[in-house]
């Protein structure tokens, strides 16, 4: 009988997701399914995790991220093997705002992969978890979703969608055995933010961010700002009057 915790990571090649997986397997062996678009990159992540936790069962799935029918079929296939304890939905991209303004196709792609796709995966798992009244859905949003800013408003709009969706999903499952966790990282030192680091941006370490995410998911927190200082920063930004906010170059 397999008593290992069943975990699924969507976007398993993201640096934050990979570090979360390492922390989970460090605590105890798990039954872990890794989803991504690039088969070679997922395989590299899986190989590293197998070395770190030989007793864990690790599967990889090369998945479609935008086709609703393919997403639904992927999730149904995963849950056929049994209940999922935790699903971490962590995929996305960080675009240049100027590219989104100049190219409507790029704009659409950013909205799809950062907003629509995570929602579709979450909804597919929610449908299955509602049947068993069990499981945790953890969605990686962003502090960028708290208020539209000229520096990244297309990306922020996609993450704002994830925020509103997670709030509604939490309302739907309030008082049930299904938990929904919304994760809002600030700028984090990962390959996705290399261009920000090159410009001198101060970034949180991916190790500390992953540790706070894992602890927050285990505690069942509805919202996790990581690092925690971003809760205060974004509360101030959200509540600035427009006539003040519009003078700020952020």
| High-pLDDT (> 70) share of the chain, % | 99
Residue 250 counted as domain residue: no
Asked, for residue 11, whether it belongs to a domain, the answer is yes
Residue-averaged pLDDT of the chain = 95
In a domain, 151, yes or no: yes
Residue 198 lies in a domain: yes
Tell me the CA distances in angstroms from 185 to 20, 111, 159, one per residue in order. Answer: 13, 18, 11
Structure tokens at 151: 């520096």
Helices (H), the chain: 15-27, 39-52, 68-79, 97-102, 104-111, 117-132, 153-172, 194-198, 206-219, 229-239, 242-245
Whether 117 is covered by a domain: the verdict is yes
Is the pLDDT confidence value at 35 over 50? yes
Q: What CATH number is given to the structural domain containing 221?
A: 3.40.50.720
Neighbours of 142 (CB within 10 A): 24
Higher pLDDT, 194 or 250: 250
pLDDT-derived band at 202 (thresholds 50, 70, 90) equals confident
Residue 31 included in any domain: yes
| 163 domain-assigned | yes
Domain with 98 in it: 5-245
H/E stretch holding 180 reads: strand 178-185
Q: What is the pTM of this model?
A: 0.94
Exposed/middle/buried for residue 133 (C-beta within 10 Å: 0-12, 13-18, 19+): exposed
Label residues 112-123 b or e (16+ Cβ within 10 Å = b). Answer: ebbbbbbbbbbb
Angle between helices 206-219 and 15-27 (to 10 degrees): 60
As for how many domains the chain has, the answer is 1
């Amino acid at each position: 009988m397999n008593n290992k915790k069943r975990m699924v990571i969507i976007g398993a090649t993201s640096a934050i997701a990979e570090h979360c997986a390492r922390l989970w397997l460090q605590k105890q062996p798990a039954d872990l399914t890794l989803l991504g678009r690039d088969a070679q990159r997922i395989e590299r992540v899986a190989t590293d995790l197998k070395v770190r936790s030989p007793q864990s069962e690790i599967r990889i799935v090369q998945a479609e991220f935008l086709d609703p029918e393919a997403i639904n079929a992927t999730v149904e296939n995963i849950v056929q093997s049994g209940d999922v304890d935790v699903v971490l939905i962590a995929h996305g991209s960080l675009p240049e705002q100027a590219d989104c303004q100049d190219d409507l196709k790029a704009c659409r792609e950013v909205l799809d992969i950062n907003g629509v796709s995570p929602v579709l995966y979450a909804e597919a798992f929610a449908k299955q978890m509602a049947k068993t009244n069990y499981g945790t859905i953890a969605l990686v949003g962003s502090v960028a979703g708290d208020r539209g800013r000229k520096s990244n408003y297309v990306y922020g709009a996609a993450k704002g969608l994830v925020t509103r969706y997670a709030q509604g999903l939490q309302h739907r499952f309030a008082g049930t055995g299904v938990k929904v966790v919304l994760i809002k990282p600030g700028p984090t030192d990962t390959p996705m933010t290399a261009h920000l680091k090159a410009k001198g941006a101060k970034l949180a370490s991916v190790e500390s961010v992953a540790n706070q995410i894992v602890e927050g998911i285990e505690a069942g927190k509805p919202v996790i700002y990581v690092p925690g200082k971003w809760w205060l920063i974004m509360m101030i930004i959200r509540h600035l009057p427009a006539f003040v906010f519009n003078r700020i170059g952020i």
